[in-house]
């Protein structure tokens, strides 16, 4: 509520930059009302997700505003996709420090506009506040899925195959590149990995095709091993994956070959935004059809099994000789502690 | 994503303090999944609203955590109520600085628990992040209303009466009390006003009764005059209100009597969270019935009129002689500029 010398008023900013993003959604009322109205299509229910990102924590303080906007939106669309939901709309709360200029807001809105077109979603509401802290963005995304059909975390059965879309570890390796820790890479490979860190590619088209096929799913945001552990725990099972089957991009392979310690980074780093899912063996053919139809690699990497009786880690990683690998870390959590969840 | 020495892990905090708040809503999946599922009742559509609050901007940095939680939730419920929606669920993004202790989180969740019971809503999702900035809370609230029936900002017609629920100005005067600017008040009166500043009372029960009766509505958050101007502009009308008819609490009357300059504070200050609405004269009897049935004062304070041709301010305030009052400010906007909206 403090005056912001660099910026026009809140209403002018909304009218100029954000109201145009709401034009295609009647229930957004042009952002001129106090709430939005949304209904699922017949036979569907709404799927709602929120995730916030904070400057200096989830993105570099000097990151370009359009990339920040797109990341904030995409991390939410990724969750909807992993649940099998078709994205429809989103809201944004934008907390801005005084130093922000109008050009930043313009670029932020341009980033949203770009991704709205790409993913077929519409802005339907939000809030702007000033903050003495860093740029902070909370996004709430709405999708829809057939009633009772979203793909849960906890539906895996013993004997199911574990699949992952796309490639794993690019974003985590990209962050290492940014920190100068992968000097062996050529420029093109390094840029590929860094781009994957800056800009998630949520599997929005693929996700809904998994409804009725996948027994459990989530998106890989905390890291492959941590997210597989989440899926295993809620499904009350264990998972065994084979490291040589995990799909890596060519740049990721180059990085790991140059420095084998980076295998752990790739398997346990976060920000992949691929879909990790399980499916019974009978679904293999339909999954192959989806892979062909959409041109997205879908790779089997292991299996769900009954948990060992005295279970300390529900995820085992086998190397190419079939022996278990020990990894330093199983990924990110937002706060310390909590080793057993 | 930074380790937080004072706090257990994110998952432990969610399991301990937030998952219990999701128990009553099946589509929240105990906060163990990546998204929530929600459907409107037959014949209804979902109404969605988000509003964020920031420490040091929207609440004092040392405010008790339970009050902060309740304020964050209530400002959103107030918008739903003003649209005529029945609240059902909400999500919370919680950005916490490193200095926050577990006891703060416990008190925050206790505040939510209290208000869930009071308003019949359930936590269905959210996110926790660390922040180098102040405590920041984004809430998204979901309600439902009969399809096509939410009460819009822009539906007022010329000749409609302007009504307001409850009393106006208490919160703004409470803030003045906190700043030591109303020394004339006795302790009980001062405490009443301060409490109204700390804790909004959204008109959750009353709002849905206005569906089909009110022609336009919004909640009074920016200040009576600013919000009436918003309603007038979107309705393409002007409003004339009579200051002597604006309902004040006894403590507010005492403050204004002691210092008449506080009349402007009361009329233009924010944070009332009452419902400002318009209705045609024919609705007067039904409104009186609602007032009696719910025991909430509903006061006619003026009328909607055709806007003057060269319109500089669509809201006129008349004093007890019928002459227009000039006020220093027409309320808050979150950023500077924007005098004509």
Say yes or no: A35 contacts chain B, CB-CB below 8 A: yes
Q: What are phi and psi of A284, to 5 degrees?
A: -55, -40
Contact A129 B80 (CB under 8 A): no
Average pLDDT taken over every residue of chain B? 92
Nearest neighbour of A3 by CB, restricted to B4, B152, B335: B335
pLDDT of residue A341: 35
Say yes or no: A322 contacts chain B, CB-CB below 8 A: no
DSSP state of B253: H
Average pLDDT taken over every residue of chain A? 92
Q: Which residues of B touch A52 (CB under 8 A)?
A: 93, 95, 127, 129, 138
CB contacts < 8 A (A, B): 260
Closest C-alpha to A333, from A227, A198, A243: A227
Q: Shortest Cα distance from B95 to chain A (angstroms)?
A: 8
Nearest neighbour of A335 by CB, restricted to B7, B142, B332: B7
Contact B138 A138 (CB under 8 A): yes
Nearest neighbour of B91 by CB, restricted to A46, A48, A131: A48
pLDDT at A35 over 70: yes
pLDDT at A337 over 50: no
What is the tens place of the pLDDT at every residue in A260-276? 999 999 999 989 999 99
Contact A34 B2 (CB under 8 A): no
Which residue out of B40, B43, B48 would a mutagenesis test of the A interface target, given it has the greatest number of A Cβ atoms within 10 Å? Answer: B48
CB B219 within 8 A of CB B79: yes
Which residue out of A217, A335, A338 would a mutagenesis test of the B interface target, given it has the greatest number of B Cβ atoms within 10 Å? Answer: A335
Instruction: Name the CA radius of gyration of chain B, rounded.
Output: 21
Contact B150 A35 (CB under 8 A): yes
pTM to 2 decimal places: 0.92
- State percent of chain B over pLDDT 70: 93
Say yes or no: A64 contacts chain B, CB-CB below 8 A: no
Contact A45 B35 (CB under 8 A): no
pLDDT at B324 over 90: no
Q: At what angle do helices B65-82 and B102-119 cross, to 10 degrees?
A: 30
CB A301 within 8 A of CB A182: no
What is the tens place of the pLDDT at every residue in A217-240? 999 999 999 999 999 999 999 999
Higher confidence at residue B1 or residue A90?
Answer: A90
Contact A131 B58 (CB under 8 A): no
Domains of chain B, earliest start first:
11-146 (3.30.1330.10), 161-318 (3.90.650.10)
pLDDT of residue A325: 84
Could you report the predicted ipTM of this complex, rounded to two decimals?
0.92
What is the tens place of the pLDDT at every residue in B291-322? 999 999 999 999 999 988 766 668 999 988 88
What the block records as the tokens of B273 is 């969270």
What is the tens place of the pLDDT at every residue in B44-88? 999 999 999 999 999 888 999 999 999 999 999 999 999 999 999
Say yes or no: A149 contacts chain B, CB-CB below 8 A: no
Tell me the CA distances in angstroms from A339 to A187, A239, A291, one per residue in order.
37, 18, 36
Most distant pair of Cα atoms in chain B: their distance: 64
CB B340 within 8 A of CB B229: no
Report H helices in A199-331.
Answer: 224-234, 250-258, 262-268, 284-294
Q: Which residues of B touch A6 (CB under 8 A)?
A: none
């Amino acid at each position: 509520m403090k005056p912001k010398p660099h910026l026009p008023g809140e209403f002018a900013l909304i009218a100029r930059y954000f109201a145009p993003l709401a034009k295609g959604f009647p229930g957004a009322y042009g952002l001129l009302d106090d709430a939005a109205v949304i209904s699922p299509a017949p036979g569907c229910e709404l799927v709602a997700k929120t995730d916030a990102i904070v400057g200096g924590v989830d993105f570099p303080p000097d990151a370009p505003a359009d990339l920040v906007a797109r990341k904030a939106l995409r991390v939410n669309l990724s969750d909807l996709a992993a649940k099998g939901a078709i994205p429809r709309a989103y809201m944004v709360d934008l907390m801005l420090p005084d130093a922000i200029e109008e050009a930043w807001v313009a670029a932020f809105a341009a980033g949203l506009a770009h991704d709205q077109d790409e993913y077929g979603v519409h802005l339907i509401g939000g809030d702007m506040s000033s903050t003495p802290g860093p740029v902070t963005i909370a996004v709430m995304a709405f999708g829809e899925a057939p009633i009772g059909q979203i793909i849960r975390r906890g539906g895996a059965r013993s004997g199911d195959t574990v699949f992952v879309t796309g490639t794993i570890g690019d974003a985590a390796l990209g962050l290492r590149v940014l920190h100068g820790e992968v000097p062996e890479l050529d420029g093109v490979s390094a840029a590929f990995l860094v781009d994957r860190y800056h800009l998630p590619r949520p599997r929005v088209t693929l996700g809904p095709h998994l409804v009725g096929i996948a027994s459990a799913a989530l998106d890989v945001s905390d890291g492959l091993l941590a997210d597989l552990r989440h899926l295993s725990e809620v499904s009350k099972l264990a998972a065994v994956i084979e490291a040589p089957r995990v799909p890596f991009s060519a740049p990721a392979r180059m990085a790991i070959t140059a420095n084998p310690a980076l295998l752990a980074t790739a398997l346990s780093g976060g920000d992949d935004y691929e879909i990790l899912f399980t499916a019974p063996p009978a679904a293999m053919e339909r999954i192959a059809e989806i892979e062909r139809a959409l041109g997205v690699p879908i790779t089997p990497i292991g299996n769900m099994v009954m948990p060992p009786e005295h279970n300390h880690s529900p995820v085992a990683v086998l190397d190419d000789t079939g022996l278990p690998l020990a990894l330093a870390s199983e990924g990110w959590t937002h706060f310390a502690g909590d080793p057993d969840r």
